[in-house]
């Protein structure tokens, strides 16, 4: 694995959505915890349920700390943000790859409801695959609700292989090497 004890600025990159909106992709930072409540308010119960495979009514300080204070050598969380005004930015999505120390990484993304359908899921997925390769992961995988056709479509377009886990979930994996 790549040694990333400091903030990995090399993963900061601009992107453009289908509608022309310019966004910035960058690694999550502990200071992003301050925006967690605002981001959570932009998520429907269904979006939270699909991301966490269960409902989380309120984001606790412990969860925010866990999701924003990460070991960049084992996981990467990429924030997508849009500039609203001169210095004001809004987090509109978060994608994450996380490993238990092996060469495989769990993959997940969550997008604010009003930003869905603009190509952000495809952009974030492709970017996280590139990050996972640079971090020397050999495989990324995700568990997705079978009814989440949008996410399954994105993963299919990126050549993930699928297997049905049960009536509700599908396991998707992509070999990187």
CATH number at residue 101: 3.40.630.30
The pairing of strands 104-111 and 75-83 is: unpaired
Query: Is 142 a domain residue?
Result: no
Q: How confident is the model at residue 67 (pLDDT cuts 50, 70, 90)?
A: confident
Round to whole Å and give the CA distance between 90 and 119.
17
Query: Is 31 a domain residue?
Result: yes
Query: Is 167 a domain residue?
Result: no
- Evaluate if residue 2 carries a pLDDT over 60: no
Round to whole Å and give the CA distance between 165 and 145.
10
Residue-wise pLDDT for 8-32, tens only, equals: 999 999 999 999 999 999 999 988 8
Query: Is 164 a domain residue?
Result: no
- Evaluate if residue 3 carries a pLDDT over 70: no
Query: Is 49 a domain residue?
Result: yes
More confident residue, 145 or 107: 107
Residue-range definition of the domain harbouring residue 47:
9-136
Is pTM beyond 0.85? Reply is yes
Q: What is the mean pLDDT of residues 151-165?
A: 93
- Evaluate if residue 34 carries a pLDDT over 90: no
Query: Total structural domains in the chain?
Result: 1
Round to whole Å and give the CA distance between 131 and 118.
22
Query: Is 25 a domain residue?
Result: yes
């Amino acid at each position: 694995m790549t040694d990333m004890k400091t903030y990995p600025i090399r993963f900061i990159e601009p992107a453009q959505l289908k509608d022309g909106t310019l966004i910035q992709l960058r690694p999550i930072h502990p200071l992003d915890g301050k925006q967690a409540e605002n981001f959570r308010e932009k998520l429907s119960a269904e979006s939270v349920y699909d991301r966490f495979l269960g409902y989380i009514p309120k984001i606790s300080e412990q969860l925010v700390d866990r999701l924003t204070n990460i070991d960049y050598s084992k996981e990467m969380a990429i924030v997508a943000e849009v500039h609203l005004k001169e210095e004001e930015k809004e987090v509109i999505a978060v994608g994450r790859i996380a490993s238990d120390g092996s060469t495989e990484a769990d993959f997940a993304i969550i997008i604010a409801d009003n930003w869905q359908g603009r190509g952000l899921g495809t952009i974030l997925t492709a970017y996280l695959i590139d990050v996972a390769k640079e971090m020397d992961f050999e495989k990324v995988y995700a568990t997705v609700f079978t009814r989440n056709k949008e996410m399954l479509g994105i993963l299919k377009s990126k050549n993930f292989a699928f297997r049905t886990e049960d009536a509700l979930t599908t396991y998707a994996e992509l070999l990187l090497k």
